[in-house]
Amino acid sequence: MKRAWLAIVAALLLPTTGTMQSMNPFEGMKFVASANFEVVRWANSHKNDKPELERLIQHLAHWMKQGVNEIKDDTHKIVTAYVDAGSIAVLVPYNFPNRDCGQHSRGGVEGADAYREWTRQLAEGIGPRRAVVVLEPDALTFSQDSKCSDNGKEQIALINAAVGIYKKTSPSAAVYLDIGHSNWLPPDVAARVLAQAGIADARGFSLNVSNFQPLADSIRYGTRILELLEAEHKVSDKGFVIDSSRNGNGPWKGKDEWCNPPGRALGNPPTARTGIAGLDAVLWIKVPGESDGECRGGPPAGEFWPKYAEELALNAKW
């Protein structure tokens, strides 16, 4: 196995002043595999018998769903661990009202006021330190679905408010607004929604979180959104990140293709050396092996499923 993919260390140093809203936050950072993830511990304990499982030992994102009384301290601890390691934490706030449109990952706080307060606590946990925030997967895309929202403007406004909170309270955090994947909203709609949601005050947007679209499709889609943001909405100097945690075999074509689909594979390992203008990094945002929900024999959403993690690793093409 090529060990070069397992630890990526850049030689450049990040500036120590200013904010991260207009620069690539991954420059100068090394990617580390935190033992706080069950998949990392499991892979480490089984890799001698199945060396392919070492592919799972990567820099992963932390999904933040804790209650308002825990979120500040938990965030502080996570960010501190990565700063001390010379790395950067990727945090995924996932507590939006009516989360996941009431599907397998349903939940979230009750109402806009509760969400703003929860966001303030999370932002205070980051404080002045550097971190990456992938903001509320699918919330903006669901705002365009009448089945999920009576008034999409309210959801967009709430994301906009969250962007403002991070800008004020954790100004060195790089915020990426999630906008689904390349097979969801048309790029002009995605650009419009991002502009309305406050991307001017964020670093950029995220794509393909927890999904399976091919990397090349996501790059084309993201590049087109950047073009439209600048041409139609006068928003420039932004970047995007792509989740490649399980897109190695592309999407499954069967029923419920989003929920623990069979035969999938790990995609490209995390890296900030993309060689693509505007693409800040390829990340593993969805933690490989964590279930999408109780479908195809899987445990509840978010629980680690060793069988699925192993399948993703064994099917990988690198």
**Residues taking part in catalysis:** 100, 138, 292
E-state strands within 208-304: 239-243, 279-283
Question: Which tokens go with 222?
Answer: 């993201």
Phi, psi dihedrals of residue 204, rounded to the nearest 5°: 170, -140
- Residue type present at position 230: E
User: What's the sign of the alpha-carbon dihedral 161, 113, 206, 129?
Assistant: positive
**Burial, 307: exposed, middle or buried (Cβ in 10 Å; 0-12, 13-18, 19+)?**
exposed
The DSSP-derived string for 170-216 is -TTEEEEEE---TTSS-HHHHHHHHHHTTGGGSSEEEE-TT----HH
Is residue 42 helix, strand or coil?
A: helix
What's the rounded Cα separation, in Å, for the pair 173 and 137? 17
Q: Which residues contact 148 (CB under 8 A, 6 or more apart)?
A: 98, 101, 102, 142
Bridge partners of 89, per DSSP, are none
C-alpha closest to that of 211 among 250, 254, 179, 256? 250
